[in-house]
Amino acid sequence: MKGLPSEMDRINFEFEETEIEVIALQSHELVIVDGIHFQLKKGATTKVPYWVARELIDMGVAELPNKAFVSVPVLHSLFENEEAVENALLDVNRFLFRRVKEEIKRLEEQRSGSAIQLKTKLEGIFQQFLQIRLRKILKSAGKTSPDKTSTTRNMTEEERWLFGELTSLVIEWKEKLGMKSPAYEDISADFEIIE
């Protein structure tokens, strides 16, 4: 089993390397960020890795478009849609959790009353959203199918790791109890319904 710290490092690295659009606030013939060279034209969008976008924003030469942020209404809509579907995870961006974390951090840094209110709302909705998805993941971990890709297709990176760990634990637990079952079996098949 891979540990959570190393898996979170991998997910974080992938997120930081994912390209995101930035809007140039100024024109510059040559911008160098950690050895990466590119041009900026005021008002134009440019795709750069997330970590470069953060550097450009800190330098005051670029900003993220509004669509890059995870807003309270967007997350609330995801929550309502997730809640409406009982037995399946809805398809979300594989880095949704990281994006929410970054938005919470951004709002925290603003330190205004309205930003703190938005942060509190975002955290509350995010907690509810996580609880619903966690319940579905726990249920799925007990009844995996041979085609794990269909089960994990709509999971975020963190959820895929958790699902893999839980599935391994359930299989090991069943083996310790003397259940000689294949690794991929519906756990509900172990129970007989008597009418």
| CA dist list (Å): 175 to 168, 180, 185, 188 | 11, 6, 12, 16
Q: Considering the entire predicted model, what is its pTM?
A: 0.73
Q: What burial letters (b/e) apply to 70-106, b meaning 16+ CB within 10 Å?
A: bebeebbebbeebeeeeeebeebebbbbbbbebbbeb
Cα–Cα distance, 175 to 190 (Å, whole number): 13
More confident residue, 128 or 69: 128
Domain 1-68 adopts which CATH fold?
Ribosomal Protein L9; domain 1 (3.40.5)
What is the tens place of the pLDDT at every residue in 146-182? 456 667 888 998 898 888 888 888 888 888 888 765 5
What is the tens place of the pLDDT at every residue in 134-148? 999 988 887 755 456
H helices of the chain, in order, are: 4-17, 50-59, 72-84, 96-110, 113-141, 148-152, 157-176
Alpha carbons within 13 A on the beta-carbon side of 102: 16
CATH architecture of 69-180: Up-down Bundle (1.20)
Determine the pLDDT at residue 188.
Answer: 39
Residue 120 has pLDDT above 90, yes or no: yes
Residue 61 has pLDDT above 50, yes or no: yes
Determine the pLDDT at residue 145.
Answer: 53
Determine the pLDDT at residue 143.
Answer: 73
- The burial of 2, by beta-carbon neighbours within 10 Å (0-12 exposed, 13-18 middle, 19 or more buried), is given as exposed
Cα–Cα distance, 190 to 40 (Å, whole number): 62
Looking at the DSSP assignment, which residues form a beta bridge with residue 49?
19
**Cβ neighbours of 164 (radius 10 Å):** 18
Beta carbons within 8 Å of 27's beta carbon, 6+ residues apart: 40, 41, 42
- Give the model's confidence band at 31: pLDDT under 50 very low, under 70 low, under 90 confident, else very high: confident
The mean of the pLDDT values for the chain is 83
**Cβ neighbours of 156 (radius 10 Å):** 20
Determine the pLDDT at residue 42.
Answer: 93
Question: 46 near 38, Cβ under 8 Å?
Answer: yes
Average pLDDT over residues 55-66: 87
Please state the domain extents for the chain: 1-68, 69-180
Q: Which of 27-41, 103-117, 131-145 has the lowest mean pLDDT?
A: 131-145
Q: For residue 127, what are its two tokens?
A: 């907690």
Strands 45-49 and 19-24, by their bridges, are antiparallel
Alpha carbons within 13 A on the beta-carbon side of 130: 14
